[in-house]
């Protein structure tokens, strides 16, 4: 009767001797961990423990067996178990001392998967990330509004300039959404910002660079720079004439640990730096390079305007 209850219990159950060897496994444990009973019987219980904590688990197991009593395992703490496919699962575990046929003390291990706790932890991470993103967004908006106020002469100009930059941020957030707010594909970021002012498929624009991602904070600021450059190209630069070309390239120098972004205009009308430094120049020369921890060069030459950003490759985001 007891064996039938053990076998058909809805919770995963294992019988483990004082040396940690598995003696019995029920069907629910097979389903939870992906092992057959034949595979698990005779193996140490640590086969179901994440590799990085197995030694610690062995010590805790021996301590428990020396003073065995029925209790939850690590009550209130986060427990994980390792499946056969190498994935970890959050679990709740109860321990109950029993006697095997040879009267040796053993422990009945009852294991329940805990998706509710996992969902709660995911929700907590989401709320924390959302809070961080909101604070960062307000900081950026505050910095933008202060700089615009310094460089505009009227309320109407301030409002128009601020609305333009807020639209830029809104579009960049759609790029972050695709990457679950963890990063931004630079190719998507570039195309999202030039779409404000020009068709993405125009032969006047050449876009090239490796398939890399930026962390959200530097990506937000780079989006502002790209938007300024594209707006200027349409109003005053290479995209004001049919023969004009814009080259948008980026690269990563692994040896130098350097990320480089280049915007260059060619075959447009003659260009010269403005006598008055507007908000766009402040973004390109100061705000963006500072936010990326690097340097930038804005140049006006007879062959066209260019902007080059050099930043540490640590601003890149690597897939987990």
Q: Could you tell me what percent of the chain has a pLDDT over 70? A: 77
- pLDDT per residue over 42-57, tens digit each? 999 999 999 888 888 8
Structure confidence at residue 117 (pLDDT): 56
Pick from 59-63, 244-248, 300-304 the range whose average pLDDT is largest. Answer: 244-248
Cβ-based neighbour number of residue 293 at 10 Å:
11
What number is the average pLDDT over the span 275-299? 85
pLDDT tens for 103-140 read 477 888 888 877 655 555 555 665 566 566 666 666 76
Which string of b and e fits 195-219 if b means at least 16 CB within 10 Å? eeebeeeeebbeeebeebbbbbbbb
| DSSP 8-state class, residue 318 | -
Q: What is the pLDDT of residue 118?
A: 56
Of the two residues 166 and 221, the one the predictor is more confident about is: 221
Residue 242 DSSP code = T
Q: Is the pTM of this model over 0.75?
A: no
Helix axes 216-235, 155-178, angle to 10 degrees: 130
CA atoms within 13 A on the CB side of 155: 0
Task: For residues 103 and 88, give the distance between their C-alpha atoms in angstroms, rounded to a whole number.
Answer: 34
pLDDT reading at 1 higher than 60: no
- Closest by alpha carbon to 148, among 261, 13, 287? 287
Name 92's bridge partners.
112
Residue-level pLDDT at 38: 93
State how far the alpha carbon of 203 is from the alpha carbons of 206, 247, 264, in Å.
7, 11, 15
Confidence band for 39, pLDDT divided at 50, 70 and 90: very high
pLDDT of residue 127: 57
Confidence of residue 282 (pLDDT cuts 50, 70, 90): confident
Please state, in angstroms and rounded to a whole number, the distance separating the CA atoms of residues 316 and 185: 10
- Asked whether residue 70 carries a pLDDT value surpassing 80, the answer given is no
Among 45-59, 188-202, 203-217, the range scoring the smallest mean pLDDT is 188-202
Rounded CA separation 94/101 (Å): 22
- Neighbouring CB atoms inside 10 A of 174's CB total 11
Query: Quick one: pLDDT at residue 255?
Result: 93
Token code pair at residue 14? 């294992």
Strand pairing report for 205-208 and 245-253: parallel
pLDDT at 180 exceeding the cut of 80: no
Q: How far is CA 158 from CA 155, 236, 239, in A?
A: 5, 21, 25
Cα–Cα–Cα angle for 230, 232, 234, nearest 5°? Answer: 70
Judge whether residue 227 has pLDDT over 80.
yes
């Amino acid at each position: 009767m007891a064996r039938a209850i053990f076998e058909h219990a809805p919770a995963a159950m294992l019988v483990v001797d004082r040396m940690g060897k598995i003696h019995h496994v029920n069907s629910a444990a097979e389903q939870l961990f992906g092992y057959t009973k034949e595979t698990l019987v005779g193996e140490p219980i640590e086969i179901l423990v994440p590799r990085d904590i197995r030694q610690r688990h062995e010590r805790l197991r021996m301590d428990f067996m020396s003073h065995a009593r029925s209790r939850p395992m690590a009550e209130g703490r986060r427990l994980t178990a390792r499946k056969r496919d190498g994935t970890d699962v959050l679990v709740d575990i109860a321990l109950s001392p029993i006697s095997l046929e040879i009267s040796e003390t053993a422990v009945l291990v009852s294991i329940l998967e805990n998706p509710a706790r996992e969902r709660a932890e995911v929700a907590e991470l989401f709320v924390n990330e959302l809070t961080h993103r909101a604070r960062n967004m307000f900081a950026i908006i505050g910095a933008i509004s202060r700089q615009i106020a310094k460089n505009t002469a009227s309320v109407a100009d301030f409002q128009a300039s601020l609305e333009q930059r807020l639209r830029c941020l809104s579009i960049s957030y759609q790029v972050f959404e695709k990457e679950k707010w963890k990063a931004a594909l630079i190719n998507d970021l570039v195309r999202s910002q030039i779409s404000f002012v020009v068709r993405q498929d125009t032969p006047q624009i050449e876009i090239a660079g490796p398939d890399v991602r930026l962390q959200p904070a530097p990506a937000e600021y780079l989006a502002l720079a790209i938007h300024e450059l594209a707006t200027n190209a349409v109003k005053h630069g290479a995209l004001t004439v049919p023969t004009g070309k814009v080259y948008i390239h980026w690269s990563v120098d692994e040896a130098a640990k350097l990320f480089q972004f280049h915007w260059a205009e060619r075959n447009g009308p003659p260009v010269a730096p403005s006598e008055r430094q507007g908000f766009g120049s402040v973004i390109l020369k100061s705000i963006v390079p500072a936010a990326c921890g690097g340097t930038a060069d804005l140049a006006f030459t007879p062959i066209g305007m260019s902007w080059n950003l050099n930043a540490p490759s640590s601003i890149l985001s690597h897939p987990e």
